[in-house]
Amino acid sequence: MAIPEPLLKGLRLPAIAAPMFLVSGPDLVVEVCRSGLIGTLPALNQRTSAGFDAWLDEIGGRLSATPDPACYGVNLIVHKSNPRLASDLEIVVKHRVPLVITSLGAVRDLVDAVHAYGGLVFHDVINRRHAQKAAEAGVDGIIAVAAGAGGHAGLTSPFALLSEIRSFFRGTLVLSGSIANGGDIAAARVMGADLAYMGTRFIATRESLAAEDYKRMIVGASAADIIYTAAISGVNANFLRPSVLAAGLDPDQLPAHAELDMKNEAKAWKKVWSAGHGVGAVTDIPAASALCQRLSGEYRDAMSMAGLDRFGV
């Protein structure tokens, strides 16, 4: 197991607050990093590359005034339908973003561009084949998006996915899928992951960009309220059934969706809201800093019971 040295600076809990489409913004990233977790956001959460550039200026300025924060990261969608990839990558390089998380395509040229300034690239995958392609592209870490994760997710058990990827990949391994409390982070570490990847739990925080109705729906939902479908955006993902109904759609008779097109992705996700199976563990809407403090306490307790230190030794 390996957490790269650049990520260890300021890291007090081995977890990443995942970059959530239309949910993660500067306030959430900054509060998470200040609390000792890695905070991230998607570049496409800003409507323009100029706005994305301004966000990175803001994040960098606020974190530079914070004693010993954890690092931050940015998600880039590497898909042929993303017209902003080249310009957003240029901005990432300009700001020397410490961690770049790529999705829907692992590209050697992008990895090389980030490595050139000393940054790290993690790539999210849902199966072994995609993980092998990411490893061939030279990524530093692989995010195993297992069954039960929010957003674009797979159906493979975390036990199987972790062990299959670890059989050929010696870089940083991150686990995603229904991780909702500090005990879950500890379990991910014991299973062999270097870091946990948490999304749904951070939707229901005060700093989240999610609508208040979305946050309340998360709090009131259980795993039985999650549906897995490609009909919303063209790629399989987990969504909240109540939001599908509220959008006037029949969750059991959804029309087929055309191939994924990032130009229309925001429209598809605006009212049909994503979440993972971990929603049942979400019972409140705290400040992000309070949530991170809670997670850290739960994690310490779980690791202590297992006779391990904070990073699993």
Q: Which domains does the chain have, with CATH numbers?
A: 5-209+287-305 (3.20.20.70), 212-269 (no CATH)
The pLDDT of residue 232: 87
Average pLDDT of the chain is 93
Name the pTM for this structure: 0.94
- Once rounded to an integer, what is the mean pLDDT over residues 170-181? 97
The pLDDT of residue 160: 97
The two structure tokens encoding residue 123: 């790539």
- Once rounded to an integer, what is the mean pLDDT over residues 171-175? 98
Instruction: Specify whether the CB–CB gap between 144 and 155 falls below 8 A.
Output: no
Question: How does pLDDT run across 116-162, given as a tens digit for each residue?
Answer: 999 999 999 999 999 999 999 999 999 999 999 999 999 999 999 99
Burial of 1 from C-beta contacts in 10 A (0-12 / 13-18 / 19+): middle
Residue 268 has, within 13 A of its CA and on its CB side, a CA count of 24
State how far the alpha carbon of 274 is from the alpha carbons of 137, 153, 224, 249, in Å. Answer: 29, 11, 14, 15
The two structure tokens encoding residue 37: 């977790």
The pLDDT of residue 80: 84
Q: Per-residue confidence at 215, pLDDT binned at 50, 70, 90? A: very high
The pLDDT of residue 308: 73
Question: How does pLDDT run across 27-66, given as a tens digit for each residue?
Answer: 999 999 999 999 999 999 999 999 999 999 999 999 999 9
Predicted confidence (pLDDT) at residue 262 exceeds the cutoff of 70:
no
> Over pLDDT 90: what percentage of the chain?
84
Predicted confidence (pLDDT) at residue 310 exceeds the cutoff of 50:
yes
> Got the DSSP string for the chain?
----HHHHTT--SSEEE---TTT--HHHHHHHHHTTSEEEEEGGGSSSHHHHHHHHHHHHHHHHTSSSPPPEEEEEE--TT-TTHHHHHHHHHHHT-SEEEEES---HHHHHHHHHTT-EEEEEESSHHHHHHHHHTT-SEEEEE-TT-SEE---S-HHHHHHHHHTT--SEEEEESS--SHHHHHHHHHHT-SEEEE-HHHHSSTT--S-HHHHHHHHH--GGGEEEESTTTSS-EEEEHHHHHHTT--TTSPPP--S--GGGHHHHHSSS-B--GGGGG------HHHHHHHHHHHHHHHHHHTT--TT--
**What are the backbone angles phi and psi of residue 184, rounded to the nearest 5°?**
-65, -35
- Nearest-angstrom CA–CA distance, 39 and 46: 16
CA distance from start to end of the chain: 10
Phi-psi region of 311 (alpha: psi -120 to 50; beta: other; left: phi over 0): alpha
- Nearest-angstrom CA–CA distance, 94 and 221: 41
The pLDDT of residue 305: 85
The pLDDT of residue 270: 79
Predicted confidence (pLDDT) at residue 223 exceeds the cutoff of 90:
yes
Question: How does pLDDT run across 263-309, given as a tens digit for each residue?
Answer: 656 666 778 999 999 999 999 999 999 999 999 999 999 999 877 76
The pLDDT of residue 295: 98
Which of 23-37, 197-211, 236-250, 280-294 comes out lowest in average pLDDT? 236-250
The pLDDT of residue 313: 43
Sheet holding 237-240, edge to edge: 151-152, 237-240, 226-229
